């Protein structure tokens, strides 16, 4: 496997998860969480509701891709990106400081994305921050069992959407062609590999939820064990998928099914070990 490709993936993964868990830890300490469907974070109805939101939002995007002219479609996606990057990065920055400078930093990032659209590393920076913020907030807002249910549903959906209906391939190509911060770009001399933000946000969501649960039962540093196990398993799944995909450049491959299976196994192992 291309070592540069592996290094990029590991760097982006570690940056996203580290920032996300730091943010999640801050949100847990401050008692901040979002109401997704019900007020009870342990209610599996939250998982089903969030999954329904994802399906509905995806359907709307596919309709827009089919019927909107490319220029209009670009600006619709750009507005979505701007809102996501601005508000999610605010969450991350706020974990470091409550200074009003975080507003300027978030605004500077979205403005830079407007003027330097083709810069892949600026795009990756925006994706890292938006994924870290979103994953942290969703993770601390859901119990571990609801997250596990959501992960299982998304693993099945990812497989069907890539290999059966193929609508996720259509969506990914449209996003990648516009260089938007909804995917990570992993450039090599031969090919630019694209990794969906979902393949980073779900491990973070699981790890953040596991962290919130473990902090109520264990002292430092033991409460980090379930999160670390989940993320190690996730990275192993990502690397295995990337190894397979690198030999078949240009062929879409869902990363989440293998990641999800390994994450659930790792989390189960930590529960059996008393965490």
Tokens of 146: 């609801």
* Phi, psi for residue 258 in degrees, rounded to 5: -70, -45
Average pLDDT over residues 139-147: 95
Half-sphere exposure of 72 (CA within 13 A, CB side): 7
Its domain, for residue 250, covers: 3-272
Mean of pLDDT over the chain: 90
Average pLDDT over residues 5-31: 94
Continuous segment of H or E residues that includes residue 186: strand 183-187
pLDDT digits (tens, 9 = 90+) for 90-114: 999 999 998 889 999 999 999 999 8
Work out the pLDDT band at 167, boundaries 50, 70, 90: confident
Quick one: pLDDT at residue 249? Answer: 62
pLDDT digits (tens, 9 = 90+) for 38-60: 989 999 999 999 999 999 999 99
Listed in sequence order, the DSSP H helices in 68-162 are: 70-94, 101-115, 120-141, 144-159
Look up residue 164 and give its DSSP letter. I
- From 216, 236, 48, select the one nearest 147 (Cα to Cα): 48
Is residue 182 within 8 Å of 127, Cβ to Cβ?
yes
Work out the pLDDT band at 1, boundaries 50, 70, 90: low
pTM for this entry: 0.92
The whole-angstrom separation of Cα 259 and Cα 238 is 6
Q: How many helices (H) and strands (E) does the chain have?
A: 10, 2
Beta-carbon neighbour count of residue 153 at 10 Å?
18
Quick one: pLDDT at residue 217? Answer: 81
Q: Is the predicted pLDDT of residue 261 greater than 80, yes or no?
A: yes
Give the distance from CA 109 to its chain's centroid.
19
Half-sphere exposure of 266 (CA within 13 A, CB side): 23
Residue 15, classified by CB atoms within 10 Å of its CB into exposed (0-12), middle (13-18) or buried (19+), is middle
Tokens of 29: 């300490």
Q: Is the predicted pLDDT of residue 244 greater than 90, yes or no?
A: no
Give the distance from CA 7 to its chain's centroid.
19
Quick one: pLDDT at residue 88? Answer: 96
Domain count, the chain: 1
Look up residue 180 and give its DSSP letter. -
Half-sphere exposure of 256 (CA within 13 A, CB side): 27
Least confident of 5-9, 226-230, 265-269: 5-9
């Amino acid at each position: 496997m291309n070592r540069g490709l592996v290094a990029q993936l590991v760097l982006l993964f570690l940056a996203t998860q580290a920032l996300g868990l730091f943010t999640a830890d801050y949100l847990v300490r401050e008692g901040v969480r979002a109401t997704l469907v019900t007020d009870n974070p342990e209610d599996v109805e939250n998982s089903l509701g969030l999954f329904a939101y994802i399906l509905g939002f995806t359907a709307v995007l596919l309709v827009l891709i089919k019927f909107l002219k490319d220029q209009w479609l670009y600006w619709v996606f750009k507005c979505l990106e701007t809102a996501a990057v601005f508000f999610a990065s605010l969450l991350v920055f706020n974990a470091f400081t409550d200074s009003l400078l975080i507003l300027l930093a978030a605004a500077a990032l979205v403005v830079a994305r407007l003027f330097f659209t083709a810069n892949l590393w600026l795009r990756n920076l925006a994706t890292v921050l938006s994924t870290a913020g979103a994953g942290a907030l969703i993770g601390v807002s859901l119990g571990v069992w609801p997250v596990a249910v959501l992960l299982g549903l998304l693993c099945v959906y990812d497989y069907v959407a890539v290999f059966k209906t193929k609508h996720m391939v259509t969506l990914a190509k449209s996003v990648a062609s516009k260089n938007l911060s909804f995917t990570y770009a992993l450039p090599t001399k031969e090919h630019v590999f694209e990794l969906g933000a979902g393949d980073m946000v779900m491990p973070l969501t699981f790890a953040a939820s596991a962290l919130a649960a473990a902090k109520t039962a264990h002292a430092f540093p033991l409460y980090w064990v379930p999160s670390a196990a989940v993320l190690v398993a996730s990275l192993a799944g990502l690397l295995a998928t990337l190894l397979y995909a690198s030999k078949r450049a240009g062929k879409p491959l869902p990363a989440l099914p293998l990641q999800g299976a390994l994450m659930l196994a790792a989390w189960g192992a930590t529960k059996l070990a008393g965490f």
